Amino acid sequence: MALKVHICAVGRLRSGPERDLLDDYLTRFDRTGRALGLGPATMHEVDDRKGGGMTTEAGLLSAVIPRGAVICALDERGKLMSSPDFANMMGNWRDEGRGDLAFVIGGADGIDPALRAQADAKLSFGKMVWPHMLARVMLSEQLYRAASILSGAPYHRV
């Protein structure tokens, strides 16, 4: 059984350099991860058109997170991990037979505390705050890097 990856994010990423990078890394992840039981990766973008804030965003995000998915919130208060540790975490979830892994990226104000509390893991890309559009690109690169590490490919150098 493959571990399907879902990136659940607030806001729509328009065409441009960030979208090109995101698409490139997700394609690489899908290609590399397939033989490893990882992927495919799917992007789920939600929009809070009425400006309801974090609570409304949490409802929209919850609606696109697959039932029973492992939830990993991207949060500045989350755990700092090395790329090999991130790869091992994903590999462990796959080996446990989990079917879906949802990475949650909040809007400008972050992730609603109630949704954050439901997360199985919280991941930080450092103490700096990153634009949520760029966080998608960084996550997609780390997904590809994780698949490369788990496959033994030379993309990641220790």
pLDDT digits (tens, 9 = 90+) for 61-85: 999 999 999 999 999 899 999 999 9
Nearest one of 97, 70, 79 to 5, comparing CA atoms: 70
Domain boundaries, the chain: 3-151
The pLDDT tens digits of the residues spanning 32-48 come to 999 999 999 999 999 98
Q: Which residues pair with 122 in a beta bridge?
A: 73
Please check whether the domain covering 3-151 is classified as CATH 3.40.1280.10.
yes
pTM score of the predicted model: 0.95
Q: Which of 118, 114, 138 is nearest to 128 (CA)?
A: 138
Yes or no: say if 77 and 124 are a contact pair by the CB < 8 Å rule: yes
